[in-house]
Amino acid sequence: MSETVLPARLAEIREEFLELDEPDRLQLLLEFSQELPEVPAQYADHPEMCERVAECQSPVYIVIDVDDDDRVAMHATAPAEAPTTRGFASILAQGLTGLTADEVLAVPDDFPQSIGLTRAVSPLRIAGMTGMLMRAKRQVRAKRGA
C-alpha cells in the first residue's frame, strides 16, 4: 500500500465509503451524485471550455480552475442518466476543490481503486474515475501559473 498522505477531504470520503458494506457504498455514491454542483455560468454557457472525459462511458466534462494563490477548483457536468459517473465527478470535485495545485498533483493515481467500490461498481467502471483524475491533474499542470 502506498503511504502517501491523502488530503483531508479525500481521506474523509474514503473513510465514509470503507466503513459501509457494499450495498450501502452504492447508496453513498448515489448521494454524492445528487450533490454534484452546477458548473459556474461561464462554463455552462461555454461547454467548449470543458474537457470531455473519454474514459467515461457517459458524456462527462470537467474543467479545472487554478487561481492566483495556486488554489484549485474542479467543476464537472454529467447527465442525470449517468448517476455513477456523476458520483465519481462529485467525489473528485469535493475532494480536490480548495487544495493547492501541488496537493492535487500529489493525490495518488490509484485513489479511485482505494475507496472500496471496485467490486460493487466493477473495475471497468472505476476506470472512468481514474480517467477523470488523470485529466484533472493534466489540467492543473497546464493551468498553474498560466
Partner 1 sequence: MTVEFDTTSPKFAAYSEPGRLVTGEWLQERLGTPGLVVVESDEDVLLYETGHIPGAVKVDWHTELNDPVVRDYVDGEGFAKLLSRKGISRDDTVVIYGDKNNWWAAYALWVFSLFGHEDVRLLDGGRDKWISEGRPLTTDATTPEPTDYPVVERDDSVLRAYKEDVLAHLGNPLIDVRSPEEYSGERTSAPAYPEEGALRAGHIPTAQSVPWAKAVAEDGGFKSREELDAIYREGAGLKDGDSVVAYCRIGERSSHTWFVLKHLLGFDDVRNYDGSWTEWGSAVRVPIVSGAEPGEVPGR
Nearest to partner 1 of 33, 139 (CB atom): 33
The interface mask with partner 1, positions 42-81, x = CB under 8 A, is ------------xxxxxx--------------------xx
Distance CA 75, CA 89 (A): 8
Residue 116 within binding range of partner 1, rule CB under 8 A:
no
Task: Give me the half-sphere count of Cα atoms (radius 13 Å) on the Cβ side of residue 74.
Answer: 29
* Minimum CB distance to partner 1 smaller for 7 or for 128: 128
Binding residue (CB under 8 A) for partner 1 from 6, 36, 82, 140: 82
Q: How far is the CB of 117 from partner 1 (least distance, A)?
A: 10
Told to check if 113 binds partner 1 by CB under 8 A, we report no
Are residues 75 and 93 in contact, defined by beta-carbon separation less than 8 angstroms? Answer: yes
- List residues near partner 1 by CB under 8 A: 26-27, 29-30, 33, 54-59, 80-85, 87, 119-122, 124-125, 127-128, 131
